[in-house]
């Protein structure tokens, strides 16, 4: 157990090592979460949602922001969380395109209504 009343210079090596082990074990338990399916970079977002570079940038910055981890130029996206956030956003907006299902490889049917003709042509719904 960490006692904050000691000066660091008063600790023995054994006490110091115990504190270090406690801090390290606390960190690993907290940070260790099961990694789902990950996609990398804007290219990964483009492939996940089958969209353009500009749309992928918009999704990264707005729609799926909680699923994105970025350090400098490195972008890592939790794909499962991103699809869930996208579906939530889509259901709030009320669009008829099922782009998330299309991104998972499911085929679309002509009954699925799209907001724009461009999307319908892009996903073979016309």
What pLDDT is attached to residue 29? 44
pLDDT, position 126: 41
Q: What is the pLDDT of residue 109?
A: 42
pLDDT in tens, the chain (126 residues): 566 777 878 888 888 888 888 888 765 444 445 567 899 999 999 999 999 999 999 999 998 999 999 998 999 999 999 999 988 887 776 554 555 555 555 544 444 444 455 555 566 544
Tokens of 12: 């023995």
Q: Which two three-digit tokens encode residue 123?
A: 């996903």
Give the residue among 61, 64, 114, 67 at the shortest CA–CA distance from 88. 64
d(CA 100, CA 98): 6
Domain 38-122 classified CATH 1.10.1660?
yes
Q: How far is CA 32 from CA 66, 71, 98, in A?
A: 18, 19, 33
């Amino acid at each position: 157990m960490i006692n904050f009343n000691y000066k660091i210079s008063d600790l023995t090596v054994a006490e110091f090592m115990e504190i270090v082990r406690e801090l390290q074990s606390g960190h690993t338990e907290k940070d260790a979460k099961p990694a789902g399916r990950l996609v990398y970079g804007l290219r990964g977002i483009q492939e996940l949602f089958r969209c353009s570079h500009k749309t992928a940038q918009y999704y990264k910055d707005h729609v799926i922001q909680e699923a994105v981890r970025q350090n400098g130029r490195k972008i890592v996206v939790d794909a499962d969380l991103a699809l869930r956030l996208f579906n939530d956003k889509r259901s709030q907006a009320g669009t008829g395109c099922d782009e998330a299902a299309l991104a998972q490889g499911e085929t679309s049917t002509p009954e699925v209504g799209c907001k724009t003709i461009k999307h319908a042509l892009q996903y073979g719904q016309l």
